[in-house]
Structure 1
Amino acid sequence: MECYQFTDNQFITSDVDTATLRCIPFDQLETVAAENGWPSTMITEVLNAKNDAYVERYRDHMLFSLTIKNHTQLEKNEELVFIKHAQSALLFYDDTLRTPQDYIDIINYVYSQIGDVDDANLLIPYALTRYDLLTDRTFLRDLENTILELELSLTREPKNPEESILSLRKTLSIYKHHYMSLIDLFEDITDDYRELLTLEAARDYQRILNKLNRLYKYTTMLGEYVSQINDRYRAQIDLNLNKTMKTFTILSAVFLPLTLIVGWYGMNFQGMPELESKYGYLYVIILSISILIGSLLYIRHRGF
């Protein structure tokens, strides 16, 4: 467990007695809880809160659940649980992904951007989310360029575009759900807990909420873009299939009369003068070629 106090608009390392913020790894939760006499219900609250972004208000504290994204490895997203008491706060994190000082550096960086901070602990969810969103628009713009390249490649018969389409749809679905969860979280803060916020804090949370709404709409637009490309690809597959079927139909129509002739004269019935004539073979060849040429000319004339 690492302890910090807020001084001169930033968090600095402190001892336990003067700390206003304690950072605790999830794997040390039960040990720290036993040392401090925390109730077992608190352990359950923290562990259950790791699943999604939300805020919950209890009798003596508020609980926030956040997710910090990893753009390159989505399976390594960081789950954070933040508990705010009246004068102190607890930040639970996964120590296999970051150190507590990493989070403190993030918080201090954001606080340096917004100026004087009235309630440092209450703005920690805002600071972590704001920093997390710094690269989201660039990431989504790169995704849009990838989608555009995929669309252009459809004219060049790309290899396995289904895999790219499914991967893009999965990624966009994850981000859409992420933004939707954060929107619900910050709407709850700005609507249900406004009395706890100072005027500046309320404005900060409203600004981050507006940004999340824009990112959510951008992600939704990209999802619709991918769906349109998928529909276009399916239509192209159907068109190519129709062309193939058309080719086979033409070939069948051309060679069907020849098949009939072969079957007819191949029966070797008595009384077929063509079989007894020395020109019979030549006659069948000329007849077959004439039918073949006539069929091709007819098909070409009809524009098939």
Structure 2
Amino acid sequence: KEHIGLAPDDISFKGEKKMDEVVLRLVDYNSENLEEKVIERVDTILSHQKKPTVTWFNIDGLHESEIIEQIGESFDFDKLVLAEVMDTNSRPKVHDFGDCILLSIKMLQQNEKNHLISVENLSLVLTESVLLSFQEKRGDVFEPVRERIRNNKKRIRTGGTDYLAFALLDIVVDNYIYIVGVLGGKIETLEETLLEEPRKSVIDEIYTYKREMNFLRKNIAPAKEMILALSKIESELIAESSRIHFKELLDNINQAVDSSETYREILSDQLNIYHTTISSKLNDVMKFLTIFSVIFIPLTFIAGIYGTNFDVVPELKYQYSYFIMWGVMIIVAIGMLLYFKKRKWL
């Protein structure tokens, strides 16, 4: 609420502080050389701006405005770029500022121990020779990309900052697909349980998965719009050879969106199956109780006659009246069951 009314280019942190200290990491490389280190000062990056290499400058932690302002001064960024970076609640977007391209996307990660899904805002600022990535907290989600650089994989070591940006976004989208797939596997297993034993806990699980799938959709759908806009953007900062990779990225995120929509529909179908199954079981119970009561109505009638308080009941004088009464009652019950069976009510 305190951020309402601030200027659009106000550089102030809008979000939740997720780490104590800001960590600055630098990876500088070309096809032959690689330099990787943690740096203490922002101005260290200045010497890399004009080098004929690709420089990846990663910032973990966005809560210190002074560091972000120093980065803006070092690269002479428009204040709107840094203001967008500091707003972790912003919607995924792509914006071409001419000398740089700002990309913003939500990064999802699943904890392997408790299976909780966390969301983090990732901002990428693409320049001609430097790619800046801004993360809310330190993590190893991009370690596969660093390993490809260390192992001197040709495509990434000979590519520019645009290809590096694609590699990072590809990791984010792959996580989308993985998380949707894991949740989808649980949903499919739930369907088997639903058909075998539609207990009350199943409906609770369905609603839980619906909430999780809606959470995923809320973050993945805007990312699709951002990547679609990125694939169409015309900028000198994106080489023609890299455009095919961004189209590939669009295909991948379409897969994630389609899968999430499919599983949402499956959950709705499972909800209908549950209610249909419960209604069917309730009908079976009501049918049984109805048949049970219908059978006992004539028996109660017969027993009621012989329970009357009259002195003269002719049948009471018969020696086998009791057994005759039971015989009649059994014959009536069996006859009604056979009648129900013939009418296919049983």
TM-score, with structure 1 as normaliser:
0.77
Quick check: 1:293 aligned with 2:334? yes
Quick check: 1:213 aligned with 2:248? no
Pairing of 1:220-299 with structure 2 (within 5 A): 220-268=261-309, 270=310, 273-274=313-314, 277=317, 281=322, 284-299=325-340
Structure 2: tracts of 5 or more residues without a match: 1-22, 50-55
Counterpart of 1:93 (choices 117, 135, 149) is 135
| Corresponding letter in the other structure for 1:260 | F
2 CA distance for matches of 1:190 and 1:155? 44
Counterpart of 2:122 (choices 77, 80, 92) is 80
| Corresponding letter in the other structure for 1:235 | T
Deviation of residue 185 (structure 1)? 0.8
Q: Percent of aligned positions with the same letter in both sequences?
A: 18
Deviation of residue 113 (structure 1)? 5.8
Q: 1:178 to 1:117 in 2, by over 3 A?
A: farther
Q: 1:28 to 1:292 in 2, by over 3 A?
A: closer
Structure 1 contact 5–19 (Cα < 8 Å) conserved? no
Structure 2 contact 295–336 (Cα < 8 Å) conserved? yes
2 CA distance for matches of 1:60 and 1:50? 25
Structure 1 contact 23–100 (Cα < 8 Å) conserved? no
Structure 1 contact 52–181 (Cα < 8 Å) conserved? yes
| Corresponding letter in the other structure for 1:181 | P
Structure 2 contact 102–123 (Cα < 8 Å) conserved? yes
Q: 1:143 to 1:42 in 2, by over 3 A?
A: closer
Give the match for residue 64 of structure 1.
103
Q: Deviations over 1:54-97 (max 9, x none)?
A: 223447643222233213444323321223456645322123x4
Q: 1:79 to 1:110 in 2, by over 3 A?
A: farther
After superposition, the CA RMSD in angstroms is 3.8
| Corresponding letter in the other structure for 2:270 | I
1 CA distance for matches of 2:322 and 2:27? 106
Structure 1: tracts of 5 or more residues without a match: none
Give the match for residue 94 of structure 2.
55
- Which structure has greater helix proportion? 1
Tell which deviates more after alignment, 13-22 or 125-134: 13-22
TM-score, with structure 2 as normaliser:
0.69
Count of residue correspondences? 301
Q: 1:24 to 1:152 in 2, by over 3 A?
A: closer
Deviation of residue 275 (structure 1)? 7.8
1 CA distance for matches of 2:151 and 2:103? 18
Give the match for residue 11 of structure 2.
none
Deviation of residue 281 (structure 1)? 4.8
| 1:197 match: secondary structure | coil
